[in-house]
């Protein structure tokens, strides 16, 4: 055993489906300034209003997909952790959540107590966003700084078009694409447009219908939508899909702000109206199935599509602990650069 640990980090989950636990989780999540990017007083007011009704609705949604072992996201992330223990030979493999437990604070403090001085930090998000990648990195650095822990980081960068990631997606999805289907919808998590624009120093982000395909390296480095499009195009090319066989959309809108388009809800109705009967849906922004995939797409999305005239919607599972993903993640983490 050496002193170089691997720390996998995912979003997190409520401790249970009880309303009080869901409220506590949502409060921590939504009060993150990288998620709701408003000044603290406005953020506090907005989140307090959201927490009046949202926890009850979300608790019901969580209960509909909760497993006997607990939250699907947590259970699947732990399975990935166990699989990675057989791959990462440089030290321990730990798992933390940005919100909820196990927290980054708890895990990093424990690693330092074990004499660990080097940690490869692996935010499990293929595409970059402040509300996912940045907040994980900044929270990890905050813990190390404030706890005065002797830990240095190597940080896994976004891997949205890395061949290992695309190959893992292809391997995990292939059994589903070999079935009879009419269309594949690649549904990514959405973001408010302002989250993308504020990171764009070139003023070219979200400028025209083809801006994502023609994005410069500078824009691509921080443009979540462009990275999603690159992931989708690389996957479709790898699977030999024709342009008419697949499309991209963005789900999980919250609030009244303008979010990146096209919206998944609208796309489901459009596809049904176009005569699509057998629809496959993949969610490549997530590496583990969670409420956004299992409930939002697998339950509500399926119901909406069938009510709009479709016959079936099949959710393609996320990468979870698929062997190809485990092998790919090992290679990705081994290449992670040392943080300055």
pLDDT tens across 27-38, in order?
A: 999 999 999 999
Distance between CA 196 and CA 212 in Å, rounded?
12
> What confidence tier does 340 reach under pLDDT thresholds 50, 70, 90?
low
Contact 223, 205 (CB under 8 A): yes
Contacts of residue 286, defined as CB under 8 A and 6 or more positions apart, other chains included, come to 189, 292, 293, 318
First-to-final CA distance of the chain:
25
Q: Which of 16-25, 68-77, 152-161, 255-264 comes out lowest in average pLDDT?
A: 255-264
pLDDT of residue 28: 98
pLDDT of residue 339: 76
Sketch the domain layout of the chain as residue ranges: 4-159+323-335, 163-315
pLDDT of residue 125: 98
Better pLDDT: 201 or 90: 90
As a whole-number percent, the residues of the chain with pLDDT over 90 amount to 90
CA atoms within 13 A on the CB side of 161: 15
Distance between CA 283 and CA 251 in Å, rounded?
9
pLDDT of residue 234: 98
pLDDT of residue 3: 87
Binding-site annotation, residues for Fe(2+):
189, 292
* Residue 130 burial by Cβ neighbours in a 10 Å radius (0-12, 13-18, 19+): buried
Contact 4, 15 (CB under 8 A): no
Contact 138, 145 (CB under 8 A): no
Average pLDDT taken over every residue of the chain: 95
Q: Is the pLDDT of residue 214 over 60?
A: yes
Mean pLDDT of 72-101: 97
Contact 104, 123 (CB under 8 A): no
Please check whether the two domains, 4-159+323-335 and 163-315, share a CATH topology. Answer: yes
What is the number of other CB atoms lying within 10 angstroms of the CB of residue 155?
A: 20
SS3 content of the chain, % helix, strand, coil (to 5): 50, 15, 35
> What confidence tier does 206 reach under pLDDT thresholds 50, 70, 90?
confident
In the CATH scheme, what architecture does the domain 163-315 have? 3-Layer(aba) Sandwich (3.40)
Q: What token pair was written down for 336? A: 């992670």
pLDDT of residue 315: 98
Distance between CA 188 and CA 95 in Å, rounded?
24
pLDDT of residue 145: 98
The correct answer on CATH 3.40.980.10 for the domain covering 4-159+323-335 is no
Binding-site annotation, residues:
189, 292
The neighbouring-strand residues paired with 103 are 97
Distance between CA 167 and CA 333 in Å, rounded?
16
As a whole-number percent, the residues of the chain with pLDDT over 70 amount to 98
The neighbouring-strand residues paired with 93 are 6
Mean pLDDT of 304-316: 98
Mean pLDDT of 62-84: 98
Of 235, 211, 255, 296, nearest to 35 by C-alpha is 255
CA distances from 93 to 1, 10, 67, 116 (A): 11, 14, 24, 11
């Amino acid at each position: 055993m050496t002193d170089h640990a691997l720390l996998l980090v995912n979003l997190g989950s409520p401790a249970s489906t009880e309303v009080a636990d869901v409220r506590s989780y949502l409060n921590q999540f939504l009060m993150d300034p990288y998620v709701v990017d408003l000044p603290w007083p406005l953020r506090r007011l907005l989140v307090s209003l959201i927490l009046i009704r949202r926890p009850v609705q979300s608790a019901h949604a969580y209960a509909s997909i909760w497993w006997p072992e607990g939250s699907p996201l947590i259970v699947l992330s732990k399975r990935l952790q166990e699989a990675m223990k057989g791959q990462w030979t440089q030290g321990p493999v730990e798992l933390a959540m940005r919100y909820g437990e196990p927290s980054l604070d708890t895990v990093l403090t424990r690693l330092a107590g074990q004499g660990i001085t080097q940690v490869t930090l692996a935010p499990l998000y293929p595409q970059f966003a402040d509300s996912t990648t940045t907040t994980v990195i900044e929270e990890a650095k905050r813990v190390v700084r404030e706890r005065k822990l002797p830990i240095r980081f190597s940080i896994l960068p976004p891997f949205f078009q890395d061949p290992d990631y695309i190959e893992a997606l292809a391997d995990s999805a292939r059994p589903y694409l070999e079935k009879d289907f009419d269309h594949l919808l690649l549904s990514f998590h959405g973001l408010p447009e302002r989250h993308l624009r504020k990171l764009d120093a070139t003023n070219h982000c979200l400028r025209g219908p083809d801006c994502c395909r023609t994005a410069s390296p500078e824009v691509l480095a921080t443009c979540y939508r462009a990275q999603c499009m690159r992931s989708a195009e690389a996957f479709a090319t790898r699977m030999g899909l024709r342009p008419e066989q697949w499309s991209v959309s963005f789900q999980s809108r919250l609030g009244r702000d303008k979010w990146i388009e096209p919206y998944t809800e609208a796309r489901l109705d459009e596809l049904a109206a176009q005569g699509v009967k057998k629809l496959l849906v993949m969610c490549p922004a997530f590496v583990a199935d969670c409420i956004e995939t299992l409930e939002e797409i697998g339950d509500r999305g399926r119901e909406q599509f069938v009510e709009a005239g479709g016959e079936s919607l099949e959710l393609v599972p996320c990468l979870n602990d698929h062997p190809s993903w485990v092998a790919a993640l090992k290679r990705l983490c081994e290449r992670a650069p040392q943080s300055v």
